[in-house]
Structure 1
Amino acid sequence: MKSPQSNGISEAFVRTLKRDYVQVTPLPDAAAVLGLLPSWFEDYNAHHPHSGLKMRSPREFIAAQTATA
């Protein structure tokens, strides 16, 4: 199900990916982009600080939530 909230989350992810990964990486062709996507996703989820998560990565945020539950 699509909702305005999920659309906003998706749009924010695309903006972050473009700003913090695509624009700062030399990308000679589409194959280079496709080769880098897995490492970008890993960094985004494991290391990249998110303001909405109090400057934690999604994995850090989830770990903190499950530790207090």
Structure 2
Amino acid sequence: MSEAFVKTFKRDYVRVKPLPDAETVLRRIPGWIEDYNEVHPDSALRMCSPREFIRARTK
């Protein structure tokens, strides 16, 4: 599971546009993780984000 997350994270966040340095990447990681959990669709979760999926299951 973590291997798939890292691959998706690199593809959809880190490699989207050139980043000037590691400090910039480190500052952006919290926002990327928030976006991934709240917005990013996942085919294994029926195209819901992780939080959407959890909210739907806990209703």
Same fold (TM over 0.5): yes
- Partners of 1:66 and 1:24 lie apart in 2 by 33
Q: Decide which of 18, 21, 31 is 1:26's aligned counterpart.
A: 18
Gaps of 5+ in 2: none
Are 1:39 and 2:35 counterparts?
no
Q: Which protein shows a greater Rg?
A: 1
The percent of aligned pairs where both chains have the same amino acid is 64
The residue that corresponds to 1:6 in the other structure is none
Moved over 2 A (4+): none
Q: Decide which of 10, 32, 45 is 1:53's aligned counterpart.
A: 45
**Aligned length in residues:** 59
Cα-Cα RMSD: 0.6
Partner-residue secondary structure (3-state), 2:58 = helix
Structure 2 length normalisation: TM-score?
A: 0.96
Q: Deviations over 1:15-69 (max 9, x none)?
A: 00000001103211000000100000000000000000000000000000001xx
